[in-house]
Structure 1
Amino acid sequence: MDDAYTTQLTAGDSVEASGLEQLMALKEGDTFLVADGWGDMRGGADGLFAGDTRVLSRWTMTVGLLKPSRLSSGVSQDNVFFSCHTTNRPLPPMGGRSAPAGVLHIERRRFLWGRRMFERIRMVNHGIEDILLPLAFDFGADFHDIFQVRGTHRAKRGTVHTPTTDGRRVTFRYVGLDKVERSSCLAFSEPPARLTHQRAEFMFSLPKGRSMDLFIECGVDSCETPDARRWRENAVQARLAMRAKRRRGASVRGPRSPRFNDWLDQSRADMALLTTDLPTGPYPYAGTPWFSTPFGRDGIIAAWQMLWLDPSLAKGVLTYLASRQATETSLFQDSQPGKIMHETRGGEMSALHEVPFGLYYGGVDTTCLFIALAGAYASRTGDLDLIRALWPNLIAAADWMRDYGDSNDDGLIDYQRGAETGLSNQGWKDSEDAIFHADGRFPKGPIALLEVQGYAFAAWRALGDLGERLGDDRAPGWRDRAEQVRALVEDKYWMEDEGFYAVALDGDGEQCRAIASNAGHLLFTGLPSVERARRVTKRLLSAEFRTGWGIRTLELGQARFNPMSYHNGSVWPHDTAMAAAGMANYGEREAVAQILAEIYAAAAHFHLRLPELFCGFPREPGEPPIAYPVACLPQAWAAGSVFLMLQASLGLSIDAWTGSIDIADPFLPTGLERLKITGLKVGDALVDLSIRHVDGRAVVIPNHRQGRLAVRTLR
């Protein structure tokens, strides 16, 4: 274990900004909004989106023809409201007098509910004279598909009709090449003094010491006239819905240090923000702005991170993915019968098959993870009714692993994209340059990724356990299959001279000898032998991997290493968390607690909201982690990382079959003296747990136990 970056949880409690102007996001259901710190949208990577279509692309406010001076802005901790506080610059002369700067307080406040944006502009005159206030909004709706917004070129698109106005409303219409008409409506509570199809101008008379509100709504299809009542009623609904999502499952609280609890609260709020209640149950969308949709891999891993606290996410993910399981072969969609989807989209380009992502299956790992999560969910909950309902889907997924996942009959799951429009790399590191040989050469396909074999091992083993409980006589064969996978991985991927596993095998069976964090995922599945797991752990904890802010995706010094890259040397919190949980599987606790402290220190610099990834530069005294400029924020599996690392640090496991909670050699990070877990439910039983340091050791004390439930501390 490397002690180079021992970090106390009290360290790094500053909230230094990353140095970049962050876009701020709101989300509700399948609608999300991205704007700058003033609340403006300018038609870049921002806008109001519904169904993967940008229904409001430009929305900017000026006061007296100028952008107001920003005092502060941000999103509420529960992720419901965005607010920006501004003041005026000097106003132009009106009737021979002009208002000086800084006499108006203008608050811009908004939320999303029912597929529309609700906005309130509150204006307060703190001056000593009455003021004529010129306020203007510029707007537009381009109806760009989200892939256009991301930069995909379209040679042709449909027809954008000239907006129509109606006193205090503007209606936008677009007829796509798919013959679908998409429309949105923008409405004001007060009629503008001048309204065109792209600008609304107001002139308010604001007496000294008085305030007034302007209400605005924008959403798909038609809209009602905004007013204070509609604002209040919908705001209450939005806040109650978010509160209900945040209160699902058990809660975790740290010591009296408010900063650590704020991190837990922010992470839980981000997971709630990204979770959409679908007919099949709650599903954590991957992230905003680019991935605000169900992803198979991301949903499974985020649900797994939260499984010990809130099994309802896993149930929702499993049920939804089963409903989207492939039934036919398509090169364009990269699908075969039984395969679990990678991504789904609802925009025009997906409907026209300009991109394959309407329902896309180009993820080699998702099918294995689907089965493995089902096994973990069953162990956590004892819910055999769901497993029986999903059994045909689980068997179909296993058949895909056997019949399609192993394209060359070598016993390993591999991939090679079916069409040029699909993803060239189909593991979690899916950028084009993420998988390579030690000399930097790209491998020929089909490629068999290391971590995917671990997922397959976990899937076969889970299927064997579930099959035995359901009385399926194929269960012993599935267990044998798991052990065959274990033996193949240990034989074909292990590099004795490196004390590490190769990241992949290429189409010729040659090892891709790059040293990458994928091996941490293999530890997570429990596949390696104890001796090899210890050697991998030692290397992952070395300074070549460990930055002081987390674990790099690629070891320092490897070909294609770049700390500013997407997958070749950056730090992904979920990747670090899975590696930490993997180490914990083999008894490592102290290092896991240290990594948790390091990730907390990074989160403190990102305003307690972990991004999708950040750069993999080494930690320097007094300096913050370096942001990756286009990282998604928030991202579900980044938000869930703290909860998986806490579970790993505590060595906590739940077995619903025996009605027991085991806590093996628990360890709390330095600076975190106590932890309380409230409302932990196992079957019909319920318990609170208090963990605290006593005489240098972590002690677990069960409280308020209801029902039959054993809590055991193992040393």
Structure 2
Amino acid sequence: MESSARQGLGTTHVLKDGDTFVVADREGNISGESQGLFHHDTRLLSCYAMQIDGGTPLLLSSSVSRDNVFFRAHLTNRPLSPLGYPSMPQGLVYIARTQFVTDSRLHERIVCSNFGDQPIVLPARFELAADFRDMFEVRGSIRAARGELLPAEAAGNGLLLRYRGLDGVTRTSCVTFSRAPTAAGPGFLQFAFYLPPGARDELYVEVGDEPIAEAGRERFRSAAARARLRIRARNRRGSRLRSSSPLFNAWMRRSQADLALLTSDLETGPYPYAGIPWFSTPFGRDAVITALQTLWLDAALARGVLAFLAKHQAREVSTFQDAAPGKIMHETRKGEMAALRELPFGLYYGGVDTTPLFVMLAHAYATRTGDMDFIERIWPALVAAVGWIEQVRDANRLGFLDYARGEHSGLANQGWKDSEDSVFHRDGRAPVGPIALVEVQGYAFAALRGIAALSRRRGDAAASEHWDARAGALREAVERHFWSEERGYYGIAVDGNGVLCDVLASNPGHLLYVGLPQESRAERVCEQLMSPRFRTGWGLRTLAQGEARFNPMSYHNGSIWPHDSAICAAGMARYGRRDAAVVLLREAFEAAVHFDYRVPELFCGFSRAQDANPVAYPVACLPQAWAAGSPFMLAQACLGIVIDGHADRLQVVQPQLPIGVDDIKVRGLRVGERTLDLIFRRSDDQVLVSTGESDGDAEVLQSADRAQHGAEAELKP
């Protein structure tokens, strides 16, 4: 068991299964503004608070199990009032609350044990309410009108709460107990625990959108077994990392458990939802990057992401949805506001980078696995995606992939830094659109090189040459228009007038990741990224200190995003700066220790001081998928592992181990049709690599020379 996660500035816990999740406090109650039981982007429970004799029990401790299935709170009674019941001193009754979510329902068991020598009647009152607010309302959106909250009704041993939405849908929330209440009133039910000396009493609760006859022990146990088996199956998929450091292992386990928690098993395969509480839904960009981070360990996640995104690819033009044929989905929502089109996010395509990232991932998946049969099944989607990329590029006078929202309701900025103030000129002025982001050109370059390589494997030499030529032209355009010789760095964007936004931001680190920059410029980018203006001691800032709009407490203009730091580290390692990846992994690990091994979506970009801790960002998602995936990308960058599934070949290039870790074992690594274990051990100033158990003879190569950057670095059969 590990201590409960820190959510923003307060302390909460989260549980999730599929499209249902709960955010509650340390005692197991739901009462805060952003807390609740949510299903399909609707809050089905906005208040669920247990009181003992009119007050909150005294918390002893609480935690979420290491596999993220169960929340357990350990409490005891405060002194009981003598009015109506025998008086009792504090600390005689032990109260254990166990909660989990499965099959779209919240389950709870409450066990009270009397450690006194006198019989006790323990009064328990449950405050219950459901506001049925859409997730965007919970986040702060103001609606012109809402539907009708219907009167609560008694339903067996519980309460039925209902809401008739403006979309004509009646949404329900039913709270069911294992026995009848002793009293009931508006918004509350009361029970009594009867406890002879040394005895215990149990109460079971279920909450869901459909009523049941009665909650109870057998239903609780059966559902708990299903929940644990489901999460174990997700946790066992793919390879595992183990090291000589218990703390490093705890970080890896927690990250893996968070990915398992966030992953939903959809019809198209496993899909990582972006983050809790605000983004517990399929996002395109987040899922692709998470799949890239973990691809070397678990290719099944990438396959599931590709299948889902191909299925939901845009097929028509919609300015409201920012959709066009071939574009890949940015976000999907299922709440009332999306159904009424009060906002465009029911199925929204306003992400300029998701489409090239989709093609990038397809090529990376094929290289990792050799699975061209699957590539054939999604080939029409890949061709359509590249068609959209090229259509937009051809309309841009400089040949860039740019964006401008179709309607005011869409996102103003459509890269991963999508806050309204994240793109600007050196003096802080907002740029005119359409805007071409630097990292997006890198993704488009990689997508074109990827589709060329896949075409070559399919035997289409003409198409391969065409796409390679287009990629080369894009590379030249980026080097010509984005590079600032004065600053020795790439600008963040080129605006609609062709003017460079000459700002020092982390975005060019993503160019390194795809291998676009020429060698001499890449070295200068690496030096800047590892300078104190970017590097804080906990990771890399999204914006260099001293730039216009710099604020370490902002969302994108000086904060630290773990996934961003990991991509930059992987990019620097690609250009031979594996030492930088080692440093950034160590710093990420030390930050993770302060966050109970669960790194948030982002945190503040203050410089590290002696004995100081990283500073939390108050409304960050926790857990969040690409934050949980970042340690695995960092680990691969340090170990120098490159896998060619077409040739059943694994290459290890200049491996290094993190400071303080003397060995790492990668267990069950899949290479083609075989699996093997890799063991990295420190020996003096070297890292030696050996293979452990293997079910076949996959080829393993170790190279003292770093791989070349760019597509030329790919292993050939």
TM value normalised by structure 1: 0.97
Give the 3-state SS of the residue equivalent to 1:184 in structure 2: strand
Show the 5 A alignment for 1:593-672.
593-672=582-661
Corresponding residue number in structure 1 for 2:267: 279
The answer to whether the 8 A contact 1:570-1:613 is kept is: yes
Q: Which amino acid letter does the alignment assign opposite residue 376 of structure 2?
A: R
Distance 2:556 2:32 in 1: 28
Which sections of structure 1, spanning at least 5 residues, go unmatched? 1-12
**What is the Cα deviation at residue 15 of structure 1?**
11
The answer to whether the 8 A contact 1:335-1:361 is kept is: yes
Corresponding residue number in structure 2 for 1:482: 471
Distance 2:405 2:68 in 1: 38
**What is the Cα deviation at residue 43 of structure 1?**
5.2
Q: Which amino acid letter does the alignment assign opposite residue 459 of structure 2?
A: G
Q: Which amino acid letter does the alignment assign opposite residue 629 of structure 2?
A: G
Corresponding residue number in structure 2 for 1:269: 257
The answer to whether the 8 A contact 2:271-2:305 is kept is: yes
Give the 3-state SS of the residue equivalent to 2:405 in structure 1: coil
Give the 3-state SS of the residue equivalent to 2:10 in structure 1: coil
Change over 3 Å in CA distance of 1:323–1:197 after alignment to 2: farther
Moved more, 210-219 or 406-415: 406-415
Give the 3-state SS of the residue equivalent to 1:640 in structure 2: helix
The answer to whether the 8 A contact 1:18-1:606 is kept is: no
Q: Which amino acid letter does the alignment assign opposite residue 567 of structure 2?
A: M
Change over 3 Å in CA distance of 1:405–1:118 after alignment to 2: farther
The answer to whether the 8 A contact 1:26-1:34 is kept is: yes
- Equivalent of 1:342 in 326, 330, 346: 330
Distance 1:97 1:210 in 2: 17
Corresponding residue number in structure 2 for 1:465: 453
**What is the Cα deviation at residue 685 of structure 1?**
1.1
Instruction: Say whether residues 1:455 and 2:443 are aligned partners.
Output: yes
Distance 1:160 1:711 in 2: 64
Q: Which amino acid letter does the alignment assign opposite residue 645 of structure 1?
A: L
Distance 1:339 1:593 in 2: 36
Instruction: Say whether residues 1:547 and 2:531 are aligned partners.
Output: no
- Equivalent of 1:70 in 56, 59, 63: 59
Q: Which amino acid letter does the alignment assign opposite residue 502 of structure 1?
A: G
**What is the Cα deviation at residue 203 of structure 1?**
2.1
Distance 2:393 2:45 in 1: 42
Distance 1:96 1:508 in 2: 78
Corresponding residue number in structure 2 for 1:39: 28
- Equivalent of 1:366 in 354, 358, 364: 354
Deviations 1:17-41 (A, max 9, x none): 7993222111100001011111111
**What is the Cα deviation at residue 125 of structure 1?**
1.1
The answer to whether the 8 A contact 1:262-1:608 is kept is: yes
Instruction: Say whether residues 1:355 and 2:339 are aligned partners.
Output: no
Corresponding residue number in structure 2 for 1:709: 698
Distance 1:406 1:318 in 2: 26
Corresponding residue number in structure 2 for 1:4: none
Give the 3-state SS of the residue equivalent to 1:41 in structure 2: coil
Corresponding residue number in structure 2 for 1:102: 91
Quote the sequence identity (%). Answer: 52
Distance 2:405 2:570 in 1: 31
- Equivalent of 2:683 in 686, 694, 705: 694
Distance 1:234 1:334 in 2: 41
Corresponding residue number in structure 2 for 1:114: 103
Distance 1:325 1:371 in 2: 12
Change over 3 Å in CA distance of 1:607–1:707 after alignment to 2: same
The answer to whether the 8 A contact 1:21-1:37 is kept is: no
Show the 5 A alignment for 1:234-273.
234-255=223-244, 257-273=245-261
Give the 3-state SS of the residue equivalent to 2:537 in structure 1: coil
Distance 2:185 2:520 in 1: 72
Change over 3 Å in CA distance of 1:44–1:506 after alignment to 2: same
Show the 5 A alignment for 1:490-569.
490-569=479-558
**What is the Cα deviation at residue 74 of structure 1?**
1.9
Instruction: Say whether residues 1:290 and 2:278 are aligned partners.
Output: yes
- Equivalent of 1:423 in 374, 390, 411: 411
Change over 3 Å in CA distance of 1:63–1:661 after alignment to 2: same
**What is the Cα deviation at residue 300 of structure 1?**
0.1
Corresponding residue number in structure 2 for 1:299: 287
Distance 1:112 1:531 in 2: 53
- Equivalent of 2:321 in 299, 323, 333: 333
Show the 5 A alignment for 1:82-231.
82-94=71-83, 97-231=86-220
Corresponding residue number in structure 2 for 1:386: 374
**What is the Cα deviation at residue 173 of structure 1?**
1.5
Distance 1:410 1:279 in 2: 41
Q: Which has the higher contact order (CA 8 A, sep 6+)?
A: 1
Instruction: Say whether residues 1:397 and 2:397 are aligned partners.
Output: no
**What is the Cα deviation at residue 404 of structure 1?**
3.1
**What is the Cα deviation at residue 204 of structure 1?**
2.1
Deviations 1:466-490 (A, max 9, x none): 0011122311100111111110111
Q: Which amino acid letter does the alignment assign opposite residue 436 of structure 1?
A: F
Distance 1:159 1:69 in 2: 37
Q: Which amino acid letter does the alignment assign opposite residue 60 of structure 1?
A: A
Deviations 1:529-575 (A, max 9, x none): 11111110011000110000000000000000000000000000000
Deviations 1:615-656 (A, max 9, x none): 000111112100001100000000000000000001111011
**What is the Cα deviation at residue 403 of structure 1?**
1.2
Q: How many residues align?
A: 702
**What is the Cα deviation at residue 696 of structure 1?**
1.6
Give the 3-state SS of the residue equivalent to 2:474 in structure 1: helix
Which sections of structure 2, spanning at least 5 residues, go unmatched? 705-717
Change over 3 Å in CA distance of 1:325–1:653 after alignment to 2: same
Give the 3-state SS of the residue equivalent to 2:657 in structure 1: coil
Distance 1:166 1:77 in 2: 36
The answer to whether the 8 A contact 1:407-1:414 is kept is: no
Show the 5 A alignment for 1:407-418.
407-418=395-406
Give the 3-state SS of the residue equivalent to 1:209 in structure 2: coil
TM value normalised by structure 2: 0.96
Q: Considering only aligned residues, what root-mean-square deviation do their CA atoms show, in Å?
A: 1.5
Q: Which amino acid letter does the alignment assign opposite residue 302 of structure 2?
A: A
The answer to whether the 8 A contact 2:4-2:11 is kept is: no
Change over 3 Å in CA distance of 1:15–1:588 after alignment to 2: farther
Deviations 1:310-358 (A, max 9, x none): 0000000000000000001111000000000100000110010001000
Distance 1:298 1:197 in 2: 43
Deviations 1:180-214 (A, max 9, x none): 12112110002110123510111222112111110
Distance 1:438 1:38 in 2: 48
Change over 3 Å in CA distance of 1:603–1:495 after alignment to 2: same
Distance 1:122 1:624 in 2: 38
Change over 3 Å in CA distance of 1:364–1:17 after alignment to 2: closer
Deviations 1:385-412 (A, max 9, x none): 1110111000000110011355424210
The answer to whether the 8 A contact 1:336-1:404 is kept is: no
Q: Which amino acid letter does the alignment assign opposite residue 683 of structure 1?
A: G
The answer to whether the 8 A contact 1:263-1:609 is kept is: yes
**What is the Cα deviation at residue 514 of structure 1?**
0.9
Moved more, 271-280 or 152-161: 152-161
Q: Which amino acid letter does the alignment assign opposite residue 117 of structure 2?
A: I
Distance 1:294 1:220 in 2: 21
Distance 1:105 1:15 in 2: 20
Give the 3-state SS of the residue equivalent to 1:654 in structure 2: strand
